[in-house]
């Protein structure tokens, strides 16, 4: 026999360490997958909050406005829409802002609000 009694504890220790390394490696991979899913859910939630905040601001400052929207409010809305980082929403916003007639603006605002609501992900 090439193993003597003195090497058996070392072999057992090596097997235990290899097993624990394998278990910890599998646990790490599982946690990494969970982290990716959590980050994706957080990003989705943050986007939803930004969309709802913009929609609320737009409703209060534009749709319920009795007078023309002032420069500060326009700037606030523009910054909020750009903060969404969504090209489709930005394009629809620019379409709304570039409206030439009241009828065109009404159609564009309907499209904008519909798009915003459609972008909220559950």
Looking at per-residue pLDDT, the higher value among 121 and 29 belongs to 29
Is-contact 58 81, C-beta < 8 A?
A: no
| pTM over 0.75, yes/no | yes
For residue 88, pLDDT over 80 is answered with yes
Average per-residue pLDDT for the chain: 93
The structural domains of the chain, with segments of one domain joined by +, span: 8-119
The label of the residue with tokens 């809305």 reads 77
pLDDT at 32: 97
16-43 pLDDT, tens digit per residue, is: 999 999 999 999 999 999 999 999 999 9
Range 87-100 average pLDDT: 96
Burial of 93 (0-12, 13-18, 19+ CB in 10 A): buried
């Amino acid at each position: 026999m090439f193993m003597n009694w003195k090497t058996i504890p070392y072999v057992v220790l090596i097997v235990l360490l290899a097993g624990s390394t394998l278990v910890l490696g599998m646990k790490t991979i599982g946690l990494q997958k969970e982290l990716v899913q959590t980050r994706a859910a957080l990003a989705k939630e943050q986007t939803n909050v930004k969309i709802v905040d913009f929609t609320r601001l737009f409703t209060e400052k534009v749709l319920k406005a009795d007078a023309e929207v002032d420069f500060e409010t326009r700037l606030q809305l523009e910054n909020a829409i750009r903060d969404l980082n969504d090209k489709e929403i930005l394009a629809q916003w620019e379409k709304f802002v570039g409206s030439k007639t009241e009828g065109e603006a009404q159609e564009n605002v309907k499209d904008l609000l519909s798009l915003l609501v459609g972008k909220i992900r559950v």
